[in-house]
Structure 1
Amino acid sequence: MEYQVPKQCISVAALVTNESGEVLLLRTHWRSDTWEMPGGNVELGEPLDKAIYREFLEETGIIIKPMGITGVYMNITKQVLSVCFRAQYVSGEIKIQEEEILEARYIKIDESNIGEYITRPQQRSRLLDAMNAKCIVPFEAWEADPNYTLLHRLEGDMDHK
């Protein structure tokens, strides 16, 4: 078999909760049957934590601080690698991009009612993993040309749920 250059896509999503423990979720035009964590595709050369910061702001109007990674998931059929973060609310009010997002709001969600909101099983497992994470995995972004330079690091701080 001849070697083929991989053509995977990388996406990011983040769990953000309010003071009441409600989760910020949204529905998109192309997946209106389910709620999901805000996120989207990583641009070429963009660090993952910068991508989730940008995507979250674009989709919800909310500024977040990514804390660390709660899970990594792979859609083999579509060749999409999804990285989920836990993030802390910093500022802003919900303001959606109507051409992409149908609705965004904080929802009180747990294992007993998750099926009422999240209809797609891969979205349910990602949210539950993020909600139940006992630790958050650190993340580093490096630049390797001409020398290895650490651009930034998320420590994976669990004190800020």
Structure 2
Amino acid sequence: MKRFPTHIVAVFGVVENANREVLLLKHRHRDIWMFPGGQVEVGENLIEALVREAREESGMEIEPGHLFCITSNTCTYPGYDGYDTVPSKVIMGFACTYKSGDFGESDETTEHLWVARDRVLDYVKMPDFIDKYKAYLEFDGTVRYLSYVTKPNYKVDLETTL
């Protein structure tokens, strides 16, 4: 049986273009709209991981900027692909700028949209993504920290600033 590390470290980015529209990606298997991001691989730093994930999921090049939130998904749940348990996750959110490239489908994504900032929540429906996007919109120079569980139901256990 394979085991994940104690925590999974992940990153995501809210990517804006020159028109201040936000990039959303449609997940291939879950029928949700999401921000680019994913797990940090061995030997990668956070910025490298975010740039790689955006490129893999969208075909686009981005420029990560400031950190606006850190979240902890503290629930665990049954694993997959030979893993026994999916552990807690620590996820960093970065404000990003679109640099170049055209959308291309990936193993994880099928579509993309550039959405006006005030319309993003018309598409993003996962509660943790909603809270992360609100932290982005409300960024005032302090980093928001959220600790939550997603299973069996979404619940924020702690919300503070750092």
TM-score range, shorter chain: 0.7 to 0.9
Alignment of 1:25-36 (within 5 A): 25-32=24-31, 34-36=32-34
Q: Identify unmatched segments of 5+ residues in structure 2.
A: 77-87, 144-162
Contact 2:22 / 2:120 at 8 angstroms: preserved in 1? no
TM-score (norm 1): 0.72
**Equivalent of 1:104, from 109, 112, 117?**
112
Partners of 2:98 and 2:70 lie apart in 1 by: 22
Q: Hey, what's the Cα distance between the residues in 1 that align with 2:52 and 2:21?
A: 22
Give 1:114 deviation, angstroms: 4.4
Pair 1:70–1:60, CA change in 2 (3 A) = same
Distance 2:100 2:121 in 1: 29
- The answer as to whether partners of 1:94 and 1:105 remain within 8 angstroms in 2 is no
Amino acid of the residue matched to residue 56 of structure 2? E
Q: Give the aligned length.
A: 129
Match of 1:39 in 2: 37
Q: Does 1:54 align with 2:52?
A: yes
Q: C-alpha displacement at 1:96, in angstroms? A: 2.3
Q: TM-score, normalised by structure 2?
A: 0.72
Tell me how large the CA RMSD over aligned residues is.
Answer: 2.0
- 1:69–1:136: 8 Å Cα contact kept in structure 2? no
* Large movers: runs of 4+ above 4 Å: none
How far apart are the structure 1 equivalents of 2:142 and 2:105?
A: 28
Which residue of structure 2 lines up, in the alignment, with residue 81 of structure 1?
Answer: 90
Residues 131, 31 of structure 1: alpha-carbon distance in 2 compared, 3 angstrom cutoff: farther
When Rg is computed on C-alpha atoms for both structures, the one with the higher figure is: 1
Identity over aligned pairs, percent: 30
| Mapped partners of 1:93, 1:29: distance in 2 | 18
> Does the CA contact (< 8 Å) of 1:40 and 1:55 recur in 2?
yes
SS at match of 1:53: helix
Structure (1/2) with the larger strand percentage: 2
Tell me, which stretches of 5 or more residues in structure 1 are unaligned?
1-5, 138-161
Q: In the aligned structure 1, how far is the partner of 2:110 from the partner of 2:105?
A: 8
